[in-house]
Amino acid sequence: MANKTLKVGIMSREEYKKRTIAIAKGEYRPKRGEPKIWFESVRSMAQVLSSENQQLLREILERKPSSIKELEAATGRKSSNLSRTLKMMERYGIVELKRERRTVKPIVKATDFKVEFGLHTCCG
């Protein structure tokens, strides 16, 4: 798999709400190359991309498990914990949980991350 870089941004919930409203009203148009995934803080991003979760992504890349149960056996993590973590990562576009027959196969979608943030507001 080729490396896929996911561009993420950090913006307060309040600023994100303003941005979303401005986009809906047609007052702001997201620029080309702007992050599509936003975290509320560096801390929230760090929780999603913790060392433990980075190791989990490496395990998926290396072992290519065909199911969460197989990943559970490989990592020693409980399936409820794995499911919760993988679903959260899926919401951020980091993994895809592909349903195949009666199993769910985890697939890594992003291998590199570019973080963008600043002190300016997006929409004036």
Domain ranges of the chain: 5-116
- CATH architecture label of 5-116: Orthogonal Bundle (1.10)
Longest dimension (CA), the chain: 50
pTM: 0.81
pLDDT for the residue 31: 87
For residues 53 and 65, what is the distance between their CA atoms, to the nearest angstrom? 16
Question: Which has the closest alpha carbon to 30: 88, 105, 96, 116?
Answer: 116
Which regions in the chain score pLDDT beneath 50? none
Question: Which has the closest alpha carbon to 97: 111, 87, 82, 84?
Answer: 87
What's the CA angle centered on 112, arms 110 and 117, to 5 degrees? 105
pLDDT for the residue 62: 94
Instruction: Characterize 9-39 residue by residue with b for buried, 16 or more Cβ atoms within 10 angstroms of its Cβ, and e for exposed.
Output: bbbeeebbebbeebeeeeebeeeeeebebbb
Question: Which has the closest alpha carbon to 11: 27, 35, 31?
Answer: 35
pLDDT for the residue 120: 59
- CB count within 10 Å of CB 77 equals 17
For residues 93 and 6, what is the distance between their CA atoms, to the nearest angstrom? 8
Residues 6 or more apart from 4 whose CB is under 8 A from it?
A: 109, 110, 111, 112
